[in-house]
Structure 1
Amino acid sequence: MPKETFYHLSEKKQQRIMDAAKKEFSRVPLGEASIAQIIKDADIPRGSFYQYFEDKEDLYFYYFQSMRRNFQLELNSAIEQADGKLFEGFELYFSKMIKEVLQGTNAAFYKNLFMSMDYRSFHKVAPHFGKRPHGACPPDQQHKENLQEFYDLVDLSLLEVANQQELKLLVRMLMHTVFSTIAEGYKQMKEKDDYSIEEVMAEFKLKLNWLKYGATKKPANE
């Protein structure tokens, strides 16, 4: 998160820094991003940058938090629409986010995010279920309430899970499936001009069905 001095800046100057962040992080992934380019576009001295942020990663995830739609609330809404059915809820959730991520105004940023995602960045941008990675900001009260709402919405009677801890593990698997399918969608769209969102959605549904029903055929005599 930004240092306190960032919040003391005028809204105009804050926005100039955020615009510079969007430009650079949409141009290249975080690992290749240049602080020099950001301060040039933002028209601030290099020393000032470190008065506002610890490093470029600090700015990167703050920018993400400032522009992202609330994934947790969207997931909760999808589960509610699906009457507590976890897999159907995830299908609704994915279908709503995929167009924005692949074709929306921030598609270039999302592409760099998902194509270079690792374990640490996954846990910084995904809704949090279970143990948080070392160094992550502790959840605030609102996040805790949103997360508890999710658990209350899921109909556990429809799942082969013994408790909330097992549900957390299953949901983490589903979130990895969401993000890996998006990354694969970007890759396919780069290689094939006619690769469509419908094909990305079809791949996601296939993976969901494997998780939901299994990928092993039953013997013919069963």
Structure 2
Amino acid sequence: MVSTTFEDLNNSKKKLITDALLNEFSHHTLSTAQVSRIVKESGIARGAFYKYFDNLTDAYNYLYHFALQDIHQTITTDYHKKFQPDDYVDQVREFTEKSTNSRYFELVKMHLLFNEAHFSTPVSNHLIIENEFYWATQVLIHDAIKQLMLDPSSKELILQKLANVLHRLAKEDD
């Protein structure tokens, strides 16, 4: 867990460290990332890194959640709202556009391709207990996001296919 020592740093130092983390995790998988490159780029001591983060996974978690908060600022997810296929498609479009046009694009792409298997999230745990239609919807949305990140040129085709399948699922759920 990110330490309060890190949280209490002045904004310029925190940004310098966050930028170094972003560079490292955007170009290296979690399993090949190195503290030495992060501390060299950020200009902090190795001991300071471990004062701020428990380990590389902790630093990665901090950065990835920080990035998602920035990307998701205006995207809402209400798990108890009645299923609306077009709303989900719009959110996928917005998320992928914001990700693609953000400084976090390579990080998100690296996460989807290589790193997400290392993490169990409350969202995925939440999905297990939901009904089959909601579960299928979320699995499809996640896969569509992954495909959009890998092949942005197919955006409209992927979103149309997602919309078609989500509308069919919604009819089954009625």
- How is 1:23-172 mapped onto 2 (pairs within 5 angstroms)? 23-68=23-68, 69=70, 71=72, 74-76=75-77, 84-121=82-119, 123=121, 127=123, 130=126, 165-166=130-131, 169-172=132-135
For residue 39 of structure 1, what is the amino acid of its counterpart?
V
Tell me which residue corresponds to 1:10.
Answer: 10
Q: How much does 1:67 deviate?
A: 2.7
Q: Deviations over 1:108-128 (max 9, x none)?
A: 21211111244453626xx56
CA RMSD, 1 decimal: 3.1
Q: For residues 118 and 25 of structure 1, do their structure 2 counterparts lie closer, same or farther at Cα, with a shift above 3 Å needed?
A: closer
Shift of 1:96: 1.2
Structure 2 gap segments, 5+ residues each: 170-174
Q: Write 1 or 2 for the structure with the bigger share of helix.
A: 2
Q: Please give the alpha-carbon distance, in whole angstroms, between the structure 1 residues aligned to 2:73 and 2:120.
A: 14
1:120 to 1:14, Cα distance in 2 relative to 1, 3 A: same
Report sequence identity in percent.
Answer: 19
Within a 5 Å distance, the mapping from 1:166-181 to structure 2 comes to 166=131, 169-181=132-144
What whole-Å deviation, never above 9, does each CA across 1:40-82 have from its counterpart, x for those lacking one?
A: 11111112211111111111121122232364961348x98xx
Distance in 1, Cα, partners of 2:115 & 2:160: 22
Structure 1 alignment gaps of length 5 or more: 133-163, 190-195, 215-222
| 1:70 to 1:15, Cα distance in 2 relative to 1, 3 A | closer
Q: Deviation at 1:20?
A: 0.7
Task: Determine if contact 2:30/2:57 at 8 Å carries over to the other structure.
Answer: yes
Question: 1:179 offset after TM fit, Å?
Answer: 2.6
Q: Which has the higher contact order (CA 8 A, sep 6+)?
A: 2
State the match for 1:206 in structure 2: 161
Structure with max Cα Rg: 1
Specify the code of the residue in structure 1 equivalent to 2:109.
Answer: K
